[in-house]
Amino acid sequence: MAKKASADSRPKNTGEESYDYREIDDLIHGRVRLALMAFLSGAGSAEFTDLRKRIAVTDGNLSIHIRKLEDAGYIDVEKRFKDRRPQTLCRLTEKGRTAWIHYIARMETLLNPRAAE
């Protein structure tokens, strides 16, 4: 799981926006995992082959990133059979949805155009 900065190392709240890069969830921030989280947040759930096609990665690459998100508790992976064929279904967990919402909020803060004023 991504390391979070401790409360002691974070800047004091001075009323200004914090641009502390350590507050970005590195687990989500990776390109493939970011695409996975974004797709699953909208789709609710998706089958492995659909994810592979949409994200345009190899089976092995996708498997590695799914495992990292699963190990962190961000996604749930269900393996089952459909018409005698193996099927892997992925969906965001509540923890994953919360992490995704916090990640998006953090990115919105960092990308705030008013910050340059």
**What pTM does this model have?**
0.77
Q: What is the pLDDT of residue 59?
A: 95
41 found inside a domain: yes
Are the C-beta atoms of residues 93 and 73 closer than 8 Å to each other?
A: yes
Sheet order of strands, 75-82 included: 45-47, 85-92, 75-82
19 found inside a domain: no
CATH number at residue 39: 1.10.10.10
For each of the chain's 117 residues, which pLDDT tens digit applies?
444 444 444 444 444 556 777 888 999 999 999 999 999 999 999 999 999 999 999 999 999 999 999 999 999 999 988 888 889 999 999 999 999 999 999 998 888 766 555
8 found inside a domain: no
7 found inside a domain: no
**Overall number of domains in the chain:** 1
Q: What is the pLDDT of residue 117?
A: 57
Domain span at residue 34 reads 25-111
2 found inside a domain: no
Q: What is the pLDDT of residue 5?
A: 43
5 found inside a domain: no
10 found inside a domain: no
